[in-house]
Amino acid sequence: PLKRTPTHAGRKAARCHPQAAPSKMSPSNRSPPLPPPRCAASTATTTKSSGPTTTTAHQHGAMLKSSLHMLLVMLSLVGITNATVATHRISWGVTSTAGRDITVEVGDSVTWEWDQTPVANLSVVSGVPADASTHGTHFASAEQSSGNFTVQFTQPGAYPYFSPGDYSWYMQGTITVISAPTAAPTAAPTWAPTTPAPSAYPTTYAPSWSPSASP
């Protein structure tokens, strides 16, 4: 008779569930057979290794373009911020009246400085001297003989001012506030990879020798 060779599944079952050896004890003294052991289910864990990340030329160009665009936006914001923090100076006193009518942009500040001699106790008030209803409508300083007074203008328009008292007839001026010009947006530079043109090769080949006649 042919001898059967156990298969892989049969060998595994034989290992997990071995046959119990026959007992030589009498039937009355035999213990109940123990249940066959169970094979623990094996779990396989597959770990996916991640290789190094590569960046193509197209991705590199896109990142460079994005970085340049962000840089241009930041530079434009810095320019706008610097344009809105201008401070204009007016010398306030009884000696000189030069530079009292000025034009500024929205967001600019104007500072009156008590820096002239002889020293006088003065104030600066918005409005027109002849119209009491306009006095101090937008700003008004205390009477002082030194120091300074600053006002920031946030709305366009004309703001007349003067110094109440004996000098009001000539200590006056007008602050004209205009809207800040809008800067044109700067286009981001475009970048595209260039491909070198292939070199030209001759399409025909002309031999540089000629056959000689046979003798």
Q: Is 107 left (phi over 0), alpha (psi -120 to 50) or beta?
A: left
pLDDT of residue 62: 73
Tell if the pTM clears 0.85, that is, is over it. no
Peptide bond between residue 118 and the one before it cis (omega within 30 degrees of 0): yes
* d(C-alpha 111, C-alpha 150), whole Å: 4
pLDDT single digits (tens) 3-60: 555 555 555 555 555 555 555 555 555 555 666 556 544 444 444 545 555 556 667 6
Percentage of residues in the chain having pLDDT higher than 70: 50
pLDDT single digits (tens) 194-213: 666 666 655 565 656 666 66
pLDDT of residue 173: 96
Residue range 65-72: average pLDDT? 72
Is the distance from CB of 20 to CB of 33 less than 8 angstroms? Answer: yes
Is the distance from CB of 135 to CB of 112 less than 8 angstroms? Answer: no
pLDDT of residue 80: 45
pLDDT single digits (tens) 165-174: 988 899 999 9
Q: Residue 193 — very low, low, confident or very high, per pLDDT cuts 50/70/90?
A: low
Q: In what order do the strands lie in the sheet with 148-152?
A: 87-91, 109-113, 148-152
Q: In what order do the strands lie in the sheet with 102-105?
A: 102-105, 172-178, 157-162, 125-126
pLDDT of residue 64: 73
Amino acid present at 40: A
Q: Is 155 left (phi over 0), alpha (psi -120 to 50) or beta?
A: beta
pLDDT of residue 213: 63
* Residue partners of 121: CB distance under 8 A and separation at least 6: 143, 144, 145
